Structure 1
């Protein structure tokens, strides 16, 4: 996953956790606006989430942030 997407995803996870607590879940769609203005980044996140890590549609934000921070 490109560095800019990693930083953005970590920021989104951190924000969600701060607002809703450690139990908050999210999908990779949370990293994007409601319009598809960056399809290449959306597909990159989808591949990382679905193909590479075989994650469920919704996962805990703390888990996703930890995975990204660890470079997975």
Structure 2
């Protein structure tokens, strides 16, 4: 497999993830030997699907940010 970032050679690696969103602790991913890019099934899934638009994420008014000490 060739790296999508640098076109270098990728090899399979075993990884250990403590807080994986799929509930698994161990997984296999591809790692580029040149640039270090890591591709696993979760990363590839997120790259295939476009992000959803953020609705109702308006910024807080300045007075409220000042009272809550939010920057």
For the aligned pair, the TM-score class normalised by the smaller chain equals: under 0.3
Between 1 and 2, higher relative CO (CA 8 Å, sep ≥ 6) is seen in 1
TM-score (norm 1): 0.25
Q: TM-score, normalised by structure 2?
A: 0.25
More helix per residue: 1
The structure carrying a bigger strand percent of its residues is: 2
